[in-house]
Amino acid sequence: MRLAARPSAIFPDVPVLRPLDSRWVFIQRQVDAALNDRLERGGAAPIVVAFSGGGDSLALLLAAKAWADSAGRRLVAITIDHGLQASSSDWALWCQRRAERLGVEHRTLVWADEKPKRGIAAAARAARHGLLADAARLAGAAVILIGHTADDRLETRVIRRLGGRVTEPRSWSPSPAWPQGRDLFLLRPLLASRRAAIRGGLKQSGETWIEDPSNIDPAQPRSRARLLLAGDGDLGPESQSAPAAALFDHVAEGPAGDLMIASEVLVDAPRSAARAFLGATLLCASGTATPPRGDRLDRLLRRIVAQETFVATLAGARVQSDGRVVRIMREAGDYSRRAPPDLALPVGRAVVFDGRFELTARLPGLVARLARRCAGRLSERERRFLRASPPAARLAAPLVVAADGSVSCPLFGPEAGVQTRGLIMGRLAGACGAVQDEAAIRRVANASRTP
């Protein structure tokens, strides 16, 4: 393990030093502004901080702790031990002790899965987000603070120019882990700050941090990007999501989770906003997590803008257009290759069905099953309820089978013995930028529940 200054920082008897020079004051103000803008002061829920022990995450933890003390909020620092370095367990121990000296609750999570031989960086990133989401949900948090900086934005742009498929970090965005990241957002308060300024402020105050040798490993795409930058770079403003948020206001949801929007709305929208919206809608309606290929998404958008009449499938979603209204829903035919199994519903514990509905059983012995397998046993009034959605969407709806074999529709109401929450519209709201702060996360989550 390498530390950026004195090795003794791993021991708990080192005094806590608070950065006070002008560079740190500027960074603290940036963090305060970001947290004041997005988070609630005095809220009961904790705030999770992703803490790797590197300089950026240490700066974030210090600044977030100062804000939390003034705002009456509790922090939980989470360290992910990927097991990719020989010293990773030592680093996790350092993080634990450093957080505890600050008076911050700390938890270490280990990525214990088998590591892939190819694409290790992407796999580690996905594992990190999944573990952070699990930890945040267990703690009752809705927001995870991430220590990405302006340099991470610049490096991402270089990686993309070199052909890498990575997403530029945004200051506020939904968790990319699905479905464990539902109702969780990432906040990056340092995204406008340069790494050199952050670390300069820490050094001035005698702080130390962990230096991961992979950050200078030329075999890693991000390390190569850092070498190619070798300077300030032209950052530019963060892209805005307001056009996509405006499109979200025109979406309606059918009873089976199908989404509808007038084609003329997409015709009139800026092409970049329409494209981003369509890609997000496909994922949300299908409950999947792998974005559609760009060329196929472009072809689909051209047909919609031309107001054609057609049926198409993409990214696990079915798209139906009559030239006036576009309907996007789960592609039931996809189940012939990947049908979701029956899902046991433990009493009082929320589980996610097919990435689209959260079900919490009130009664024992209930099982969630795909409608195409047992819709014939529904009551007539439940069938009438589902007929407001297209036949393909109805086939993909969840039904609940009781121990006696009776079948009911949890989307219809509480008669099924299940509290149901649709995840599609809430996920789409987050993806489109229509959820802008911690209070809105809670409102969106509560709005989609059945009685």
Bridge partners, 79 (sequence order): 108
For tokens 């009559």, the residue is 322
Per-residue confidence (pLDDT) for residue 2, from 0 to 100: 37
Nearest to 428 by CA among 410, 413, 448: 448
Residues 52-82 as b/e (b if ≥16 CB within 10 A, e otherwise) read bbbbbbbbbbbbbbbbbeebebebbbbbbbb
Instruction: With beta carbons less than 8 A apart as the criterion, state whether 420 and 426 touch.
Output: no
Whether omega before 451 lies within 30 degrees of 0, making that bond cis, reads no
Phi and psi at residue 335, to the nearest 5°: -70, -20
Q: How confident is the model at residue 342 (pLDDT cuts 50, 70, 90)?
A: confident
Show the 3-state SS of 228-253: HHCCCCCCCCCCCCHHHHHHHCCCEE
Q: What is the pLDDT of residues 154-171, one digit of tens each?
A: 888 776 776 666 778 899
Q: How confident is the model at residue 304 (pLDDT cuts 50, 70, 90)?
A: very high
> Please, what is the average pLDDT of the chain?
87
Give residue limits of the domains in the chain: 7-229, 242-335, 341-447
- At 318 the three-state DSSP class reads strand
Phi and psi at residue 187, to the nearest 5°: -120, 125
Biggest alpha carbon–alpha carbon distance for the chain: 73
Please list the helix, strand and coil fractions of the chain in percent, rounded to the nearest 5, in that order. 45, 20, 40
Per-residue confidence (pLDDT) for residue 413, from 0 to 100: 80
Domain spanning 7-229: which superfamily? HUPs (3.40.50.620)
Rg (CA), the chain: 24
Q: Which residue has the higher pLDDT, 340 or 13?
A: 340
Say if residue 136's pLDDT is above 90: yes
Q: How confident is the model at residue 11 (pLDDT cuts 50, 70, 90)?
A: very low
C-alpha 238/C-alpha 324 separation (Å) is 34
Q: Which residue has the higher pLDDT, 340 or 432?
A: 432
